[in-house]
Amino acid sequence: MDAYWTARELSGFIKVPVSTLTYWVAAGLVTPDESGKGRGGHKIGLLGLLEALAVKELRRSDVPLQKIREVAANLKRLFDENRPLARLTLIVYGEDVIVKENGIDNKGISAYLKPGQSVMIFPLGEAYVQKVEETKRQEKQELVTV
């Protein structure tokens, strides 16, 4: 049995206003499995849930809706994927949105600034932060001893 949510149920589940979720549906960012009107409204399945979560996270990263629409359109074209927001791993990097290539740790593809261009992903992580902090401490010690 497939799981479905109405827009109202899903909006409560992911904690966004119903009007926001229905706008995302109208904008083509979230695709319901069955379209409807009235109290029952749309029936949104698992892929719709994943799309809604992706849009929510992109918005949380201050990506404007217009950019999200462009990213989705570019991804559909680049990957021949009907529902890319549900099926691809996205990374916000500065002004760009990068698609992480499956199975390749440090390679991605630009989905916004230069759609289709390969990019390298270098996570800085904890070791980098520790090294920066260590360097700052050493510089402060050198200033104090001079």
| SS3 label, residue 21 | helix
Distance separating alpha carbons of residues 44 and 11, to the nearest angstrom: 11
Pick the CATH number of 1-60 from 2.60.120.10, 1.10.1660.10, 3.30.1490.270, 3.40.50.620: 1.10.1660.10
Give the phi and the psi of residue 107 in degrees, each rounded to 5: -130, 140
- The domain segmentation of the chain, as residue ranges, is 1-60, 63-146
Who's near 73: CB < 8 A, 6+ residues apart? none
**Edge-to-edge strand ranges of the sheet holding 107-110:** 89-93, 96-100, 107-110, 118-120
Average pLDDT of the segment spanning 98-116: 83
Structure tokens at 54: 């992706």
Residue 11 has pLDDT above 60, yes or no: yes
Going by pLDDT thresholds of 50, 70 and 90, the confidence category of residue 142 is confident
| pLDDT one-digit tens code per residue, 63-94 | 999 999 999 999 999 988 899 999 888 988 88
pLDDT tens per residue, range 22-59: 999 999 999 999 887 765 578 999 999 999 999 999 99
